Chain A
Amino acid sequence: AQTVTQSQPEMSVQEAETVTLSCTYDTSESDYYLFWYKQPPSRQMILVIRQEAYKQQNATENRFSVNFQKAAKSFSLKISDSQLGDAAMYFCAFQETSGSRLTFGEGTQLTVNP
């Protein structure tokens, strides 16, 4: 079974600074998808960024980028120029290409200090 581990329960960053959230996973699959979701206090799950394992190029979405290290099974999220609205719980998630379910990590609570 796949597992996803987020080793940082809490992180904080100063506004306009850069922060990196860590995620590691375990799988025997060679092809899969990885995601970062944001969950603000409203509880809404918002997709931040998505990476396909067969693509070597790291995904980017505006201020959000990932560092995907397939051999190390690591998938970290970098948030540049942090904004107050970035404060939320962030979840890393894994999905097999043949499956439908998402396996989530335990989450990292990000605080952005003004």
Chain B
Amino acid sequence: NAGVMQNPRHLVRRRGQEARLRCSPMKGHSHVYWYRQLPEEGLKFMVYLQKENIIDESGMPKERFSAEFPKEGPSILRIQQVVRGDSAAYFCASSPQWAGGSEKLFFGSGTQLSVL
């Protein structure tokens, strides 16, 4: 059973381009969480999704960022018109159900986004 798969592992974009980060949850997991880790900082919550639904996007910047988790396929975190401040590691985690206090939350290895 493969773990949480994130791709690409490294992504380089120029300012103004779009970045699309993909997350395939573990098999049987229908809940996905995205976190961002800026250099020298801890992870910060961005968004929590279930299949076809955004449950909590209170950590997501209001502009340029969007996330989806379609019925089929991976979850996508999309950043439009990237700026240098978007450079960070973006982590995805998945769980089979709501992961409140549960050890059943599994993280991917992250996508390192570098904006030139």
Which A residues fall within an 8 A CB radius of B? 4, 6, 32-33, 42-47, 50, 52, 91, 95-107
Q: Which chain B residue lies CB-closest to A91? A: B42
Chain A residues whose CB sits within 8 angstroms of the CB of B93 once the complex forms: 45
Asked if B67 lies at the interface with its beta carbon under 8 angstroms from chain A, I say: no
Chain A residues whose CB sits within 8 angstroms of the CB of B43 once the complex forms: 45, 91, 102, 104
Interface size, chain B (Cβ < 8 Å): 26
Q: Which chain B residue lies CB-closest to A104? A: B42
Chain A residues whose CB sits within 8 angstroms of the CB of B112 once the complex forms: 43
Once the chains bind, are B91 and A102 in contact (CB under 8 Å)? no
Once the chains bind, are B45 and A43 in contact (CB under 8 Å)? no
A-B contact count (CB 8 A): 60
Q: State the CA gap A2–B32 with chains docked (Å).
A: 22
Q: State the CA gap A45–B92 with chains docked (Å).
A: 10
Query: Nearest Cβ distance between residue B75 and chain A, in whole angstroms?
Result: 15
Once the chains bind, are A47 and B103 in contact (CB under 8 Å)? yes
Query: Nearest Cβ distance between residue B80 and chain A, in whole angstroms?
Result: 24
Q: State the CA gap A101–B60 with chains docked (Å).
A: 12
Q: State the CA gap A105–B40 with chains docked (Å).
A: 11
Given contacts A98-B100, A100-B33, A101-B56, contact A43 B109 (CB under 8 A): yes
Chain A residues whose CB sits within 8 angstroms of the CB of B56 once the complex forms: 100-101
